[in-house]
Structure formats: structure tokens, C-alpha cells
Structure 1
Amino acid sequence: MAQTDNFYTLKGYSLLEHTQITSSMEDYLEMICRIHRDGQPVRIKELAECLHVKPSSASKMVGNLRKQGLVCFEKYGTVSLTEEGLELGEYLLFRHEVLRRFFCYINQNSNELEQVEKVEHFIEPKTVYNIEKWLDKFT
């Protein structure tokens, strides 16, 4: 009989990680960084439009990111990144791009956005860096 004592549900693995930031928080932070990179001020309305959510949902999530020390935000103002938020956000953008390149390469497709969005939260940094090394060798 196969050994089964190391298997967990997806939720179980998430609980083992003890992370303070959720997948949804990552999506918001990634988009804040994307808008910030374009040199635009990040406003709740624009963030909500980019993520296809209600402004009230975006405002609540930005509040959660502020509690984690990743952004600065005052009601009716713009969202700015803390040093920690910028560092994590830049990694999230990097991870997204590596996975986009990987899925486009193996699927011979130019747009794999949906697949990247579905899996990016579940891949460890070591794997992302190894995929990047592989891509650099073979593409």
C-alpha cells in the first residue's frame, strides 16, 4: 500500500505555509505594482476597474494590504507601495511573466493569461526561478 501520511487538501497545504497574504491579496498587489510601473497614480476606482471588482471590494482589500504593511492609503487618496510592498509586488510581476512565457512556450500560444492567473499562487519561488533558468536555456 502506498504511503499516504503526507497528503493534504489544497487548504491544508495553505495552512501549513502560515502565510499572511492570500491569493486575492497577491492579485491586488500585483495590479497595484503594474499600474505603479506605468507611472500612474493608483486610485481605488482604477484598481477596481482593472480587476473587474466593485470599488468597495478594492477599498477593503487595500485596507487589508495596509494592515500587512504593504501599501499606504488614506481614504479618497492614492495607493502607494511601501518598500516591502514594492519588493513583493516586483516578485509577483516577475513570477507572472515567467509563468506566462513558460505556458506560451509549451502550449505554442501567445496568450495564456487565464492559466497563469489560475496557477501562479501555488508555485514556490524556487520553482519559478528554475523555470526561468530552463526558459533561458531553451527559448
Structure 2
Amino acid sequence: MTKVQTSAIPALPDAEQQAANFQRVREVHQQEVAEDYVELIADLIDSTGEARAVDIARRLGVANTTVVKTIARLQREGLVSSQPYRAVFLTEAGREMAVRSRRRHELVVSFLRAIGISDGTAQRDAEGIEHHVSEETLAAFERVVRAKATGSL
């Protein structure tokens, strides 16, 4: 048996700070779901003229009941409007969130492509990165994309 070296194990952070960090992650995950939904709803409305719960469920790969529950939450948050058995519509706040989400997604995809990632992988990876990346990091991504486009990279 080998002895475990305790010097290699980092000290635990302060309990309150660690709890605050985990709380932030949970809040980001809630925001991530809202952003994914409003972005998809905007895409569906723009391409087909409407966003139906069944189409949202199919495209997100979730159950229809999950979509109904999430749409109800998004209504409470003022991001969508909906009536039973009708299409889902974005409020002004929902449309603004969708635009911001789409911009972030496109920027992350462009950055990943600029550093040599294939299109398919860039699209898949952007789905997770776009929600968790800071504005500072997004600005750096944008600088790299611009530099690559102008040939100065």
C-alpha cells in the first residue's frame, strides 16, 4: 500500500464560498434552460411562423410534459406567452434573451472554427460553452475571430 500524500490534496474552500459557487452553477443551469428554450422558440417562429410545444419537445429531445412545465415557468418569468393547445410566443424580454443567446452561440461557434475545430464539433460544443462563458471571455473570442478574419492571427 502506498501512502497518500496530503500535500497534493488542496484545502477545502470556505464552506460559505463553496456553497455560493454551487448556488451560482445551479442558477446558471436554470438560465441555460431558459436561453435554450427562447432561442429555439425564436428559431421556430422565424422559420415556420410558430412554435408549438410538440416541435420544441422534438427538437430538444425531451418529453412534451417537460416542455409544458418549462413553458409555464418561462411564462411566470415573463419570457413567453402561451395558451393551452396554442403556439408559444416570445415576449419582448424573451425575444431580447433569444437575440443575446443566438449572438453568444454564433460567436462561440466562430471562435471554435477559427482555432480549427470542425463545424459539427463546434456546433455541439458551443451548446454548452455559450451559457457558461463570461463576457470577458466572449470579448477575447471575438478578438480572435476578428484577427483570424483579417489575417492578423
Report TM bin, short chain: 0.7 to 0.9
Paired residue secondary structure (1:72)? strand
Q: How many matched pairs?
A: 137
> What is aligned with 2:47?
38
- C-alpha displacement of 1:44: 0.4
Task: Indicate the structure with greater helix content.
Answer: 2
Give deviations 1:8-62, integer Å, cap 9, x for gaps: 47524436xx679532222112211221222420110111111111111111111
1:123 aligns with 2:128: no
Q: Does the 8 Å CA contact 1:42/1:80 hold for their aligned counterparts?
A: yes
Q: Whole-Å Cα distance in 1 between the matches of residues 24 and 49 of structure 2?
A: 37
The verdict on how the C-alpha distance between 1:19 and 1:116 changes in structure 2, with shifts beyond 3 A counting, is closer
Paired residue secondary structure (1:42)? coil
Correspondences of 1:53-64 after superposition (within 5 Å): 53-64=62-73
> What is aligned with 2:76?
67
Give deviations 1:107-130, integer Å, cap 9, x for gaps: 341222221112221112343244
Q: Which segment drifts farther, 72-81 or 102-111?
A: 102-111
Residue identity in the other structure for 1:74: Q
1:77 aligns with 2:86: yes
Residue identity in the other structure for 2:41: I
- C-alpha displacement of 1:90: 0.5
Give deviations 1:91-115, integer Å, cap 9, x for gaps: 0011111111111221341222221
Paired residue secondary structure (1:25)? helix
Normalised by the size of structure 2, how large is the TM-score?
A: 0.75
| RMSD of equivalent CA atoms | 2.8
Residue identity in the other structure for 2:126: V
Please, which runs of 5 or more residues in structure 1 have no aligned partner?
none
